[in-house]
């Protein structure tokens, strides 16, 4: 594992410095920028003795590799990698029915970040991805997640189908989304311990993942397009699950 990683953007930096200031190694800020949120981050950093460098925009642009950095880039200690063992602990410690989001083959960091942000808003316990053929928690994903990457466990598993079978044995109902499913998310019962599986755009879930699901559902499409962006579809489905879970209380 790398000894450090970069994060950028006000949301990501603010969330991390409030929750884990000890992880910061150094901060690069845009010289001459006067912004309340940036000033707040700088103030907290100074209290913790974190090195701060004020620099030109090009330096920040180069570090962020062209992504929008909002005037701040930070070098931090890497996010601890979470595995199957951490998932078991999360499920055992939860005092409410399990609520999991599984992304099968979603590789775009913008989509991963957006899914993390939605998962946080919906109260999801953890986001699970396969180690292979899936995106990871990159600086871009963290920026798009707007701080959610620091609070929602992001678990990378070696064998996704095996992980699905393991959580099924713990009483979690696994629901996958597929365009050809015979029932929609509004017809399905989506309460109790549940894991939602979202596949990659275009190809959808892999065959073994699909076969392991307990149930398949679809989002009804009334317009001319055949599918939604995966992060939008995730939001639609998660919040129908939230609605049903709250109504069932």
| Run of H or E including 34 | none
- The answer on whether 228 is annotated among ligand-binding residues is yes
- Predicted confidence at residue 189, as pLDDT, reads 95
User: Whose CA is closest to 74, among 37, 24, 34, 30?
Assistant: 24
- Predicted confidence at residue 171, as pLDDT, reads 94
CA angle 206, 210, 216 (to 5 degrees): 135
Q: What are the mean pLDDT values of the chain's consecutive 10-residue runs (249 residues total)?
A: 82 91 95 91 96 95 89 91 90 90 94 96 96 86 88 94 96 93 94 95 87 95 80 96 92
User: Whose CA is closest to 214, among 240, 242, 192?
Assistant: 192
Domain ranges of the chain: 5-76, 84-247
User: Whose CA is closest to 139, among 51, 72, 232?
Assistant: 72
Query: Could you report the per-residue pLDDT of 67-101, keeping only the tens digit for each?
Result: 889 999 999 998 888 999 999 999 888 888 999 99
- In this structure, are strands 72-76 and 5-8 parallel, antiparallel, or unpaired? antiparallel
Contact 118, 103 (CB under 8 A): no
- Predicted confidence at residue 206, as pLDDT, reads 92
Which tokens go with 37? Answer: 């949120």
CATH class, 5-76 region = alpha beta
Q: Domain 84-247 sits in which CATH superfamily? A: SPOUT methyltransferase, trefoil knot domain (3.40.1280.10)
Contact 86, 181 (CB under 8 A): no
- The answer on whether 219 is annotated among ligand-binding residues is yes
Cα 28 to Cα 36: distance, rounded to the nearest angstrom: 16
Query: Could you report the per-residue pLDDT of 16-54, keeping only the tens digit for each?
Result: 999 899 999 999 999 998 889 999 999 999 999 999 999
- Predicted confidence at residue 213, as pLDDT, reads 96
Phi, psi of 194 (to 5 degrees): -145, 145
- The answer on whether 7 is annotated among ligand-binding residues is no
Phi, psi of 66 (to 5 degrees): 90, -10
- Predicted confidence at residue 34, as pLDDT, reads 86
| Run of H or E including 111 | helix 109-122
- Predicted confidence at residue 2, as pLDDT, reads 60
State CA 35 to chain mean position distance. 27
DSSP string, 149-163: GGTS-EEEES-HHHH
- Predicted confidence at residue 26, as pLDDT, reads 96
């Amino acid at each position: 594992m790398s000894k450090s990683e970069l994060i950028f953007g006000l949301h990501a930096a603010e969330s991390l410095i409030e929750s884990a200031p000890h992880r910061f190694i150094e901060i690069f800020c845009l010289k001459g920028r006067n912004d309340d949120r940036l000033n707040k981050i700088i103030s907290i950093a100074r209290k913790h003795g974190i090195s701060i460098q004020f620099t030109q925009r090009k330096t920040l642009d180069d570090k962020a590799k062209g992504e929008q950095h909002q005037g701040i880039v930070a070098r931090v200690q890497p996010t601890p990698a979470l595995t199957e063992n951490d998932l078991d602990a999360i499920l055992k410690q939860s005092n409410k029915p399990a609520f999991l989001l599984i992304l099968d083959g979603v590789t775009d960091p913008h989509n991963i970040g957006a899914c993390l942000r939605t998962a946080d808003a919906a109260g999801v316990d953890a986001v699970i991805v396969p180690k292979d053929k899936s995106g990871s928690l990159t600086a871009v994903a963290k920026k798009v997640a707007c701080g959610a990457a620091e609070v929602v466990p992001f678990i990378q598993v070696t064998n996704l189908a095996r992980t699905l079978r393991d959580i099924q044995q713990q009483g979690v109902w696994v629901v996958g989304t597929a365009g050809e499913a015979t029932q929609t998310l509004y017809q399905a019962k989506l309460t109790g311990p549940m894991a939602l599986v979202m596949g990659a755009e275009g190809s959808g879930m892999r065959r073994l993942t699909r076969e392991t699901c307990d149930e398949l559902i679809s989002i009804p499409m009334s317009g001319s397009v055949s599918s939604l962006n995966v992060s939008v579809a995730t939001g639609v489905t998660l919040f129908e699950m939230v609605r049903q879970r709250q109504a069932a209380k």
